[in-house]
């Protein structure tokens, strides 16, 4: 159980907002580089402890192991997880030693303990960040939802920051709350689905986890996707973790072209080969039906069940005659930093260009003009398609930590062009 640091200090050198894996990664890298910073930073997260959102999503979707291999984790030593797992080889899953959920949880706990970070997360939700300019010095004032404040010279935002994406037909749909849910709000634990039919929309790994979980709880499942379900080991080709693809990405000075490279590298949602095999087996046993090249046109709640009309009837039998008990949307999330209310004043004081909702940061992932750094998916224009993943946390730390340690001043700007 984590010890919670309840008192908010009045001033810190570095405030890290968010306590997920990305924040943990930057903290371990920071301490590895400069131990003396130990008492000069604070981490703020509503949970008051590390990794709560991560653990919640794995438990709620009943995910047995990670999609990424054992070298991806928050400790600076890439081999640390393998060493930790030496006596637990069965918890590293093929084909590339994918860590089991419990193993990864205990490893992260071990990382937190080894770096003495147990009591470093202050409970709080940062609602707003203000900039205070005092002659030649600039500092930030972080306003918490509770009304408390924290002043900091530098800020690292590690808040992930995506919001659930809802297809347009949802807007005109009225239903009991638990009958239409985005994956973000689904918790498989405790659900009894005996005799129910669940329609899952989306083609990513989350749709696969939801289908397996719903069937294990007694449901019959229809998986619907605009495209064909397809398999891919990782979110993005491992070439994106090193120079193979990143060299060309970094050499590209046109923001729009970089954005397109990110889109085609991720190529929408995909299933892992293991899950797709499992789903095909369930389809053969009659518990699952795939509806590919198909999308919902309209869904009406008829009092006891959904009636769903879909596009592309010429490809499929319509499912309008099948009563659907639950509609689950595994339609991913969208990220637009223009919508981040926490940054409204920063945006006003230091306007910066964005592309498809992503900021154009400098090479240290710093908001040009001030000492605010952003990691996670929002740094994708600088880091590439894996920015939001565990490895993206490592890449971001390598950029941010030198600026925090050397105390460079925010004079640099991005060389990325956003002109059309
Ligand atoms: C189901 C699922 C499985 C995944 N599996 C993998 C995998 O196997 N490998 C991989 O590399 N990636 C995986 N990812 C992608 C990614 O690594 C995770 O989403 C990861 O949690 C991202 O880390 P993060 O620290 O950016 O965000 P989070 O884990 O979401 O942490 C952000 C934290 O910031 C807090 N926060 C937000 N706003 C504020 C605020 N204003 N003030 C204070 N705190 C705030 C949140 O409460 C949260 O605790 C997975 C994603 C999902 C959804």
pLDDT tens digits, 364-388: 999 999 999 999 999 999 999 999 9
Q: Can you give the pLDDT at residue 316?
A: 61
Q: In the chain, what is the straight-line distance between the N-terminal and C-terminal CA atoms, in Å?
A: 51
Question: Cβ contacts of residue 314 below 8 Å, gap of 6+?
Answer: none
150 half-sphere exposure, CB direction, 13 A CA radius: 29
Distance of alpha carbon 114 from alpha carbon 75, whole angstroms: 10
Give the number of the atom of ligand 1 that is nearest the alpha carbon of residue 22. 25
Q: Of 105, 71, 77, nearest to 2 (Cα)?
A: 105
Within this chain, do residues 20 and 132 fall inside the same structural domain, yes or no?
Answer: yes
Q: Is the C-beta atom of 46 inside 6 A of ligand 1?
A: yes
Pick the residue whose CA is nearest to atom 1 on ligand 1: 57
| Residue that the structure tokens 């402890």 belong to | 49
Pocket of ligand 1, candidates 71, 184, 389: which has the most ligand atoms within 8 Å of its Cβ, to mutate? Answer: 389
Distance of alpha carbon 311 from alpha carbon 225, whole angstroms: 11
Which whole number is the average pLDDT over 249-278? Answer: 94
Within this chain, do residues 193 and 151 fall inside the same structural domain, yes or no?
Answer: no
Burial of 88 (0-12, 13-18, 19+ CB in 10 A): middle
Within this chain, do residues 109 and 202 fall inside the same structural domain, yes or no?
Answer: no
Pick the residue whose CA is nearest to atom 18 on ligand 1: 389
Q: Residue 152: which CATH number?
A: 3.50.50.60
pLDDT tens per residue across span 72-120: 999 999 999 999 999 999 999 999 999 999 999 999 999 999 999 999 9
Q: Is the C-beta atom of 44 inside 6 A of ligand 1?
A: yes
**Of 37-51, 132-146, 405-419, which has the strongest mean pLDDT?**
37-51
Range of the domain at 325: 166-232+267-332
Q: Is the C-beta atom of 374 inside 6 A of ligand 1?
A: no
Q: Is the C-beta atom of 222 inside 6 A of ligand 1?
A: no
Which whole number is the average pLDDT over 8-37? Answer: 96
281: CA distance to ligand 1 center in Å?
31
225's tokens? 């996707």
In the listed set 280, 311, 332, which residue is the last one of a domain according to the structure? 332
Q: Can you give the pLDDT at residue 290?
A: 95
Q: How confident is the model at residue 3 (pLDDT cuts 50, 70, 90)?
A: very low
The domain tally of the chain equals 2
């Amino acid at each position: 159980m984590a010890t919670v640091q309840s008192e908010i200090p009045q001033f810190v050198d570095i405030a890290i907002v968010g306590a997920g894996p990305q924040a943990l990664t930057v903290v371990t890298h920071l301490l590895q580089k400069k131990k003396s910073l130990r008492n000069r930073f604070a981490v703020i997260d509503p949970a008051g402890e590390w990794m709560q959102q991560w653990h919640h999503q794995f438990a709620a979707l009943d995910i047995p192991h990670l999609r990424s291999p054992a070298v991806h984790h928050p400790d600076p030593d890439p081999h640390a997880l393998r060493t930790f797992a030496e006596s637990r080889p069965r918890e590293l899953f093929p084909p590339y030693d994918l860590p089991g959920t419990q193993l990864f949880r205990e490893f992260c706990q071990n990382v937190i303990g080894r770096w003495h970070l147990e009591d470093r997360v202050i409970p709080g939700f940062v609602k707003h960040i203000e900039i205070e300019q005092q002659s030649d010095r600039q500092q930030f004032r972080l306003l918490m939802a509770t009304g408390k404040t924290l002043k900091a010279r530098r800020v690292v935002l590690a808040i992930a920051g995506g919001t659930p994406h809802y297809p347009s037909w949802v807007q005109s749909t009225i239903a009991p709350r638990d009958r239409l849910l985005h994956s973000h709000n689904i918790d498989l634990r405790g659900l009894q689905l005996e005799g129910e039919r669940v329609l899952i929309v989306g083609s990513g790994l989350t749709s696969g986890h939801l289908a397996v979980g719903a069937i294990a709880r007694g449901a019959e499942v229809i998986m619907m996707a605009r495209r064909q379900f397809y398999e891919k080991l990782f979110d993005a080709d491992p070439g994106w973790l090193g120079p193979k693809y990143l060299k060309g990405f970094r050499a590209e000075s046109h923001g729009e072209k970089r954005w397109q490279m990110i889109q085609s590298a991720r190529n929408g949602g995909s299933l892992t080969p293991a899950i797709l095999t499992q789903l095909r087996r369930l389809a053969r046993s009659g518990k699952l039906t795939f509806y590919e090249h198909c999308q919902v046109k309209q869904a009406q709640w008829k009092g006891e069940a959904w009636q769903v009309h879909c596009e592309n009837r010429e490809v499929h039998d319509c499912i309008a005659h099948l009563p659907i008990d639950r509609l689950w949307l595994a339609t991913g999330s969208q990220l637009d930093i223009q919508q981040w209310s926490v940054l409204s004043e920063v945006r006003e004081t230091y306007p910066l260009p964005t592309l498809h909702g992503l900021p154009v940061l400098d090479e240290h992932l710093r908001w040009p003009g001030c000492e605010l750094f952003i990691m996670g998916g929002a740094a994708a224009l600088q880091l590439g398609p894996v920015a939001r993943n565990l490895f993206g946390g490592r890449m971001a730390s390598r950029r941010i930590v030198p600026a925090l340690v050397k105390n460079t001043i925010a004079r640099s700007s991005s060389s990325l062009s956003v002109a059309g």
